[in-house]
Amino acid sequence: MDQLDAYFHTPETHFDLPLGLTGTAFQQRVWALLRTIPVGQTRTYGEIARELGSAARAVGQACRANPCPIVVPCHRVVGRHGLGGFAGDRTGRRLAIKRRLLEHEGVLRYSTPTDSTLGPAPAP
C-alpha cells in the first residue's frame, strides 16, 4: 500500500512489487510491455499490437484481463482517436478512472465524458 500511496502523491513513483500475475503467454507479453510505458506517456493499442505482431483488439482484451491495473499501467494504452476503454468500459465509471489516472500523470489536459485531448498539460 505504501507504493500506491506514493503513486497517488507523486505519479513518477516506481513500483517494485513482486507480481505473480496469472495469464496466457500473450497476456504476459502485453503486461510486460505495459510496464515499460513511462509515466506521462501513452501508446495506442495498435502500436503495441504491431510491436507484438498481433491485433489491437487482442491487446485490448489483454488489458481488460489485467489483474493489477495501476502497477501494470493499462490506463496508458489509448485508442488511435481517443481514450479507448478501461477494464471493459468505454463510457462509464471505469473509463472515468482512466481519465483521472491520465490527468494525474499529466497526459490528459482536457476531458469530458465524450471528448478528451491527450498531450502534456500546457505550461502555467
Q: What is the dihedral of CA 32, 48, 37, 89, to 10 degrees?
A: -90
Residue found under cell 497476456 = 27
Cell of 7: 503513486
Amino acid at 113: P
Q: What is the dihedral of CA 40, 69, 108, 54, to 10 degrees?
A: 80
Catalytic (active site) residue 63? no
- Please tell me which residue in 48, 74, 77, 95 is annotated as part of the active site: 74
Contacts of 94 (CB under 8 A, 6+ apart): 85, 86, 87, 88
Would you please indicate which residues are annotated as catalytic (active-site) residues? 74
